[in-house]
Amino acid sequence: MVKRIIPCLDVHNGRIVKGVNFVNLVDAGDPFSCAEAYSNAGADELVFLDITATSDNRNTVTDMITEISKIIKIPLTVGGGIRTVEDFERIIKSGASKVGVNSAAVKNPSLISDAATSFGTQYIVCAIDARRRKDGSGWDVYTNAGKVNTGFDVIEWAVQVEQLGAGEILLTSMDMDGTKKGYDLDLTRQVAEAVSIPVIASGGAGTMEHFYDAITIGKADAVLAASLFHFGEVEIFELKTYLKNCGIEVKI
């Protein structure tokens, strides 16, 4: 199966930002120029996350989505502030190929099944923000940009969202986010083995080897990164060439 390389645009106040463990955000550029550059550089997809839409209790910035969808040639997943089936419709009409949902789905799981019924499972990406429990017994699901611990078990929730109709899981390790120490391979592998839908690994990429490990050890179907790409530490073509030379099937 072809593995996908996905840059992520975390957007706050109209700018791309990046932090460590979901805090200490720094400016990382203009969303429009970055989106176009990634599309031209060979990214397989692009994820756009309006990271404060939920905590600010507002809708996702659809005008920005419309403009970005016009200048890129690859699928666009949009998340942040998605609360209703109408929000899904609004984002899809703005040009998104898929819609990511996290906090609202935890509060109202039927939102996933309702949206899947209305638009098809291929449009539904369930984002799961995971943090390892202090006792090491597993991971809890966090919502509201990592501010609220729901107490839900990540593996159990992943299984449930697949049953509800999610077509894909975007799995972020809050422990590894922005650290550049590598993905949480144990977390990624356990979720990937528990479900049959694709799992996108997110949080912690620091070297090209980390992407390889996420795919081979973590069993991820796709690998997502932000700061590593934003600050030019790894180029997408370079990464794809490396993975291909390692025997990973990628689209070049």
Contact, 195 vs 156, CB < 8 A? no
Q: Active site includes 44?
A: no
Which one of 44, 50, 87, 129 is the catalytic residue?
129
Q: Where are the beta strands (DSSP E) in the chain?
A: 4-12, 15-20, 23-29, 46-50, 76-79, 98-101, 124-132, 139-143, 148-153, 168-173, 199-202, 222-225
CA distances from 150 to 49, 128, 135 (A): 21, 11, 17
Tokens standing for residue 112: 């996933």
Helix, coil or strand: residue 219: coil
- What would the two tokens of residue 154 be? 């990540």
**CB-CB contact of 99 with 78 (8 Å):** yes
* Whole-angstrom distance, CA of residue 142 vs CA of residue 157: 11
Beta-carbon contacts of residue 130 (< 8 Å; ≥ 6 apart): 139, 140, 141, 142, 154, 171, 172, 173, 174, 184, 187
Under 8 Å between Cβ of 195 and 169: yes
Out of 10, 87, 140, 177, the active site residue is 10
Is 129 part of the annotated catalytic residue set? yes
* Cα 97 to Cα 92: distance, rounded to the nearest angstrom: 7
Mind telling me the catalytic residues? 10, 129
